[in-house]
Amino acid sequence: MSPRRSVADTLETRQRILDRSLAIASAEGLEGLTIGRLAAELGMSKAGLLGHFGTKEALQLAVVDQAAEVFLREVPRKVKQMPSGLPRLIEVCEAWVSYLEREVLPGGCFFTAATAEFDGRSGRVRDALAGMNALWRRDLRIHIRRAVSDGDLKPDTDVEQLIYEILGVMLALNHFLQLEHDEAAPRRARQALKRLLTK
Amino acid sequence: MSPRRSVADTLETRQRILDRSLAIASAEGLEGLTIGRLAAELGMSKAGLLGHFGTKEALQLAVVDQAAEVFLREVPRKVKQMPSGLPRLIEVCEAWVSYLEREVLPGGCFFTAATAEFDGRSGRVRDALAGMNALWRRDLRIHIRRAVSDGDLKPDTDVEQLIYEILGVMLALNHFLQLEHDEAAPRRARQALKRLLTK
DNA sequence: CCTACCGATCGGTAGG
DNA sequence: CCTACCGATCGGTAGG
């Protein structure tokens, strides 16, 4: 009989599972994350692992949360001290490019990969991914509006158009980095953003 | 004993398999395309189906070819009659937007989905996808260079930068259509392209 | 093109 | 947290 684990130990095990899950899911997709393989890599049983989450879908939802946590830590939280408006928007985009450039997660942006994988389905995982995307666009929207009202972007700026184009730059960055290992891609992303964010 | 099928019949069956495979793979990914499910949907046995291709990987490669065939028919071949250079480039991009807007394949662009799915792996399927991407960029490059030498794009146009940004617009279009069902997305794509392709 | 089958793996559960 | 197990499904093969 194994000794009873403390609450702290349980949380630590849960975190170990999530960290490994996120690495696997980023590289090979949320569906490629299988219970058996994950258990083997962590040196524990499938049943022991599932005890922390209940079902595979619950594990997937926890991984989406964990990916959001990593992204929020690496991008918006890093530029919290910048004055809001255009300076903050520019730094948010730079942190975003840097996040993809440094390959914080293997396989690039978890959300890009997971969104492409789940956008044709229905269910709670898809909804969670769509929710995170919407939340992040809301963040960008706030910064852009502020930049416009500060007079740092043209008064006739089409806010949704700008969000669309910024996202396109980031999706292309992820594409060229992951598929082509194109080292020039971050430079291209920064150049495109500079043009988009200059009055 | 079933009657011996003619060569034409065999090819027709093969095409039926490919058409269905492409629809499944576009919507749910190349890995989600399983032999058992495909056989069930087509009303044939797994062995009969596999006889046409040999292995799952060979089927996946054939599906990539089929997707390329559909894309080439719907986009570049539709604008073959246009004068090369900028007019052709503009029409290629319009055909591309229209292709995504009409949802010719369920689940949007097969190559976007498959590339995101396989970019972190190695093997022949990944290589085939990378090859198609490279071929298509080559096409765009030729049109852009011609537009520059015709004087229809600025002489200091950064060709690779423009390819990067056009691809970003298309990736964003696919993203907003598939995840958000955003009907404004094609308009945003056209507007972004207009700005990119105006001297 | 079929039936019948293979070993491996899937997500998940019973019981401790 | 474990062992032992479940039915379903995976890609693939033998033999016709």
Q: Tell me the pLDDT tens digit for each residue of A31-82.
A: 999 999 999 999 999 999 999 999 999 999 999 999 999 999 999 999 999 9
Compute how many other C-beta atoms are within 10 angstroms of the C-beta atom of residue B5.
Answer: 11
Helix/strand/coil for B42: helix
* pLDDT score, position B5: 65
Confidence of residue A7 (pLDDT cuts 50, 70, 90): confident
Asked if the Cβ–Cβ distance from A175 to B179 is below 8 Å, we say no
Confidence of residue A5 (pLDDT cuts 50, 70, 90): low
- Among the listed residues A117, A72, A130, the one whose alpha carbon sits nearest the alpha carbon of residue A99: A72
**Average pLDDT over chain A, rounded to an integer:** 94
Chain A, nearest residue to B164 by Cα: A172
Name the residue with the least CA to C1' distance from nucleotide C9. A36
Long-range contacts of A56-62 (CB under 8 A, 24+ apart): A57/A123, A57/A124, A57/A125, A59/A17, A59/A21, A59/A33, A59/A35, A60/A25, A60/A30, A60/A33, A60/A125, A61/A124, A61/A125, A61/A128, A62/A18, A62/A21
- Among the listed residues A75, A78, A59, A49, the one whose alpha carbon sits nearest the alpha carbon of residue A128: A59
C-alpha A108/C-alpha A101 separation (Å) is 8
CA angle B116, B119, B124 (to 5 degrees): 120
pLDDT at B2 over 50: no
pLDDT at A4 over 70: no
- Among the listed residues A5, A29, A9, A27, the one whose alpha carbon sits nearest the alpha carbon of residue A17: A9
Long-range contacts of B142-151 (CB under 8 A, 24+ apart): B142/B84, B143/B84, B143/B85, B143/B86, B143/B88, B143/B89, B143/B92, B144/B89, B146/B84, B146/B85, B146/B86, B146/B88, B147/B85, B147/B86, B147/B89, B150/B85, B150/B86
The residue-averaged pLDDT of A124-150 equals: 97
* pLDDT score, position B4: 54
Percent of all residues in chain A with a pLDDT value above 90, rounded to a whole number = 92
What CATH architecture does domain A60-198 belong to?
Answer: Orthogonal Bundle (1.10)
**Minimal C-alpha gap between A14 and chain B (Å):** 26
Q: What is the pTM of this model?
A: 0.95
Q: Give A17-44 as a 3 state SS string.
A: HHHHHHHHHHHHCCCCCCHHHHHHHHCC
Confidence of residue A1 (pLDDT cuts 50, 70, 90): very low
pLDDT at B105 over 70: yes
pLDDT digits over B136-152, tens only? 999 999 999 999 999 99
Name the residue with the least CA to C1' distance from nucleotide D8. B36
* pLDDT score, position B1: 39
The residue-averaged pLDDT of A97-125 equals: 95
Size of interface A-B (CB pairs under 8 A): 116
The residue-averaged pLDDT of B28-37 equals: 94
- Among the listed residues A185, A160, A169, A158, the one whose alpha carbon sits nearest the alpha carbon of residue A93: A169
C-alpha B38/C-alpha B43 separation (Å) is 9
**Average pLDDT over chain B, rounded to an integer:** 94
**Minimal C-alpha gap between B27 and chain A (Å):** 6
